[in-house]
Structure 1
Amino acid sequence: MFFKQFFDKKLAQTSYMVACQKTQEAIIIDPKRVIDEYEEVAKSEGFNITQVTETHIHADFASGLRDAAKRFNATAYVSDEGGENWKYENMPEDTVYLKDGDIINVGNVELKVVHTPGHTPESISFVLTDRGGGSDEPMGIFTGDFLFVGDIGRPDLLEEAAKMEGTTEEGANAMFDSLKKLNDYPDFMQVWPGHGAGSACGKSLGAVPLSTLGYERKNNWVFEYENKDAFIKELTSDQPEPPSYFAQMKKVNKAGLPEFKVKEVEVGTPDKLPGQLFDLRSKEEFKKGFKKGAINIPYNDKFLQFAGWYVDYEQPMTVIANPEYSKTLQEDLASIGFDNLKLIVPEDKADKYFDDSYENVTPEELVENHEDKHILDVRSTSEYKEGNLDNAHHIHFGHLDEKEVPFNTDDTIYVHCQSGVRSAIAMSALKARGFDNVVNIEKGYAGIKEAMN
């Protein structure tokens, strides 16, 4: 048997390839939308990708399920659980629809379907048994967004991101029951989750890429609860705010997206910039000069986690960035379902558009008479609850393009996050809304606490 784990750091998302080395057949589990990597591995190993499947209709990234089925001429396997509202649409004619207890055979490797609702109603897991290796015991379980290392999938995304009322309570109840299904499996069985640390699909995901069921039983908080009400209370409290693009992902992954292909994107400095504007330079460069209205999201490993809050799927996009990023940027945006990158303005030629800037202040400067200042805390709700300035107003940085800001546009507003990264993004969003007198606090709340001691 062949096993490979693929981890996308920018999405904190994990997909897998399993193959039977005797028959050279391979399956991809939870593929991301850019599927070149799977093709390269299969080619180097001499495998034919004959099947593709996923654990549920994803909310946090654009699925490569349909693209993989088309490119590799592979049979798609999808969940048929969860009721009429959770059925896949626009699938290939030969798609196999799975129920609890069904078996997928990949050569001599067996994947048994276990319906594990909670994160979403249609969620399924796959228990792997290496029949070709002579085993009747399960080697591991692909849990998707059901069980993580150190955590469990959140049940509130459908209500928080997709505005489906009542689904949080239903999901939490189902998750408790799904956990009980694991009682049938041995401690030595490995756990292969769909996400790691950095994902918003849980609140305390571990950074270790895999675990065992026995280790999780001893160390994962979810196994401490025998009382359902207590479990539900803990599960539904203090979950991180889901990025706004999650609602879009649920729609497009259910119905499908056009096949993704890298294209030639225009590079230049036209008089008018089309659509929404993202400035991908560092926050240090951005603050010196920028075009008002641009959202500053530095192009690094956290780009997608931050940009997903602000992407407008109804508009084309212009970016200020290095044109050499064109291919990777298209691939990154495609992974959250956005295919309309229209223009790249080279960083070294963008100053012709600049009409604004902002200033930083040190934490020491802020704490002097801070009681008399207008302060905006843009951290997460959980961070804010753990400690805050008494006179600070709180709005999550990702909601600054939509929520009412409790200050006048001509007020001097001091903005902070935890360390200074998210507040820089918030500065650009506030500037875009017409708040001209905003000041960024260096080092964030961590620096403020140190300055006050």
Structure 2
Amino acid sequence: MFFKQFYNDHLSHASYLIGCQRTNEALIVDPNKDLQQYIDVANKEGFTITQAVETHIHADYASGIRDVAKLLNAHIHVSKEGDDSLGYKNMPDNTHFVGHDDIIKVGHIELKVLHTPGHTPESISFLLTDIGGGSSVPMGLFTGDFLFIGDIGRPDLLEKAVSVEGSTEIGAKAMFKSIQSTKDLPDYIQIWPGHGAGSPCGKALGAIPMSTLGYERENNWAFKITDESQFIDALTSEQPDPPTHFAKMKEINQFGSELISPYEVYPLAHDDKSLLHFDLRSREAFHGGHQRGAINIPYDKNFINQIGFYLNYDEEVILIGDRDTVNQAAKTLQWIGFNQVKGYIKPSTDIMTNTVDAAAITGQEEHILDIRSQDEYNRGHIEHAVHIPHGRLMKEDIPFNHDDKIYVHCQSGLRSSIAIGILEHRGFTNIINVKEGYSKINV
């Protein structure tokens, strides 16, 4: 059997290619839109990609499952479990809807479908047995967003991202049962998850690429809580705010989207100040001089999770940076279904960020804006600070005058750098960035 994991750092996403070396057939597990990576490896190893499977309707990136069917004429397998109204729509003709205990074969490799709801109602996992290798017992489990290394999938995205009321508690109860359903699987089963550290699909994902079920039973918190109510409380507390683009990803992945059409981003002859501008440089470079109102989202592994809070899929954006970085960023944005980069401009030094060391904050400053998450705020805050999580700054009312001196802080200084540009974009002119954030404020 051939096995390879593909890991996308920008999406914190793991996908897989497995192949039967007797029949030279291959199958992709949870493909993203970058199909060429799978094709290149399959060609190198002498495989033909004949099938693909998906664990659930993803909320954090644009799925490539339909692309596999359309471009490679391969058979695809998706879940028929869960609520039909939340299930897959507009699927290609060569789609197979599968449910619990169904068997999928690629050559002499067998995948058994297990319904493992909780993260989403339709979530399924795939238990692999290498029959061609002479085994009669399973080797490993493709868990998608059910079971991660050190964590499990969050159950609240349907409620928080797409407003399915009451789905968080329903999902948490289902996840408790899904965890219990693994009790008959042996400890040696390998765990092949859909995400790693940095993904907002959980709150404490490990950074190693795979594990075993036995190791997770010993170390993963989800296996240690046997009381259902305590489990639900632990699972639903302190989950990070989902980026705004998650709602769009759910729509795209449920109903389908166009194939990716790569495009070049060119420098603009005339800037359009009415559009959102995203400065891709480091925060240090941004603070040293930037265009007023440009939002600083450095092009690094956190790029998608940060810019996703501010994208409007019906409006174009302008990027700020060098040509290579801008075009890499535009390609990365296509992985979340965004194709609206109008062009780019070079960095300017119109305005420097005013900063103050966190240690200099007394707590007596008149206008303080705390942009941390609700959980961070609840654990401690400056008494009279106005609290607006950074992902809501673009839309919520900010109760200050445009010329007020506003001290902005997050926990460590990263999100406040983003907030500077948003506040400038909204017309505020006297903003002070609190370096190092609340973690270094002594009040």
Give me the TM-score of the superposition, normalised by structure 2: 0.96
1:225 alignment counterpart: 225
Match in the other structure for 1:253: 253
Q: How does 1:311-350 map to 2 (within 5 A)?
A: 311-347=311-347, 350=348
SS in 1 for 2:182: helix
Contact 1:274/1:318 (CA < 8 Å) preserved in 2? no
Q: Amino acid of the residue matched to residue 105 of structure 1?
A: K
- Report the CA distance between 1:298 and its aligned residue: 1.3
Task: Provide the residue aligned with 1:412 in structure 2.
Answer: 405
| Residue 357 of structure 2, aligned match among 348, 362, 374 | 362
Partner amino acid for 2:27?
A: I
Q: What is residue 366 of structure 2 aligned with on the other side? A: 373
CA shift at 1:269, angstroms?
3.2
Q: What is the one-letter code of the residue matched to 1:150? A: G
Normalising by the residue count of structure 1, what TM-score does the alignment of the two structures yield?
A: 0.94
Following superposition, the deviation at residue 64 of structure 1 comes to 1.0
CA contact (8 A) 1:18 1:27 kept: yes
Match of 1:446 in 2: 439
Of 1-10 and 269-278, more deviation after overlay is shown by 269-278
Residue 442 to residue 372, structure 1, CA distance change in 2 (3 Å): closer
- In 2, Cα distance between the equivalents of 1:406 and 1:178? 45
Partner of residue 272, structure 1: 272
4+ residue runs of structure 1 moved beyond 4 angstroms?
Answer: none
Contact 2:109/2:129 (<8 A) preserved: yes
Q: Give the counterpart letter for 2:365 in structure 1.
A: D
Partner Cα separation in structure 2 for residue 264 and residue 410 of structure 1:
40
Written as runs of structure 1 = structure 2, the 5 A alignment for 1:73-88 is 73-88=73-88
Q: Please, which runs of 5 or more residues in structure 1 have no aligned partner?
A: none
Residues 274, 316 of structure 1: 8 Å contact kept: no
1:129-144 pair list within 5 angstroms: 129-144=129-144
CA contact (8 A) 1:274 1:343 kept: no
Alignment partners' CA distance in 2, 1:328 and 1:50: 30
Aligned to 1:49: 49
Distance in 2 (CA, whole Å) between partners of 1:109 and 1:295 is 49
Partner of 1:303: 303
Structure 2 residue identity aligned to 1:362: D
1:251 Cα shift? 0.2
Q: Which residue of 2 aligns with 1:436?
A: 429
What is the match of residue 424 of structure 1?
A: 417
Could you tell me the percent identity over the aligned residues? 51
| Paired residue secondary structure (1:240) | coil
| CA shift for structure 1 position 271 | 4.5
- 2:154 is aligned to 154
Aligned length: 443
Corresponding residue of 1:194: 194
Distance in 1 (CA, whole Å) between partners of 2:117 and 2:441 is 43
| 3-state SS in 1 of match to 2:364 | helix
Could you tell me which runs of 5 or more consecutive residues in structure 2 were left unpaired when the two chains were aligned: none
Indicate if the aligned counterparts of 1:148 and 1:193 stay in contact, CA closer than 8 A.
yes
SS in 2 for 1:360: strand
1: CA distance, partners of 2:34 / 2:225: 39
Deviations 1:370-402 (A, max 9, x none): 323322222222333333333333222111112
Root mean square deviation of aligned Cα:
1.7
Is the Cα contact below 8 Å between 2:188 and 2:213 reproduced in 1?
yes
2:430 and 2:44 mapped to 1: Cα distance? 57
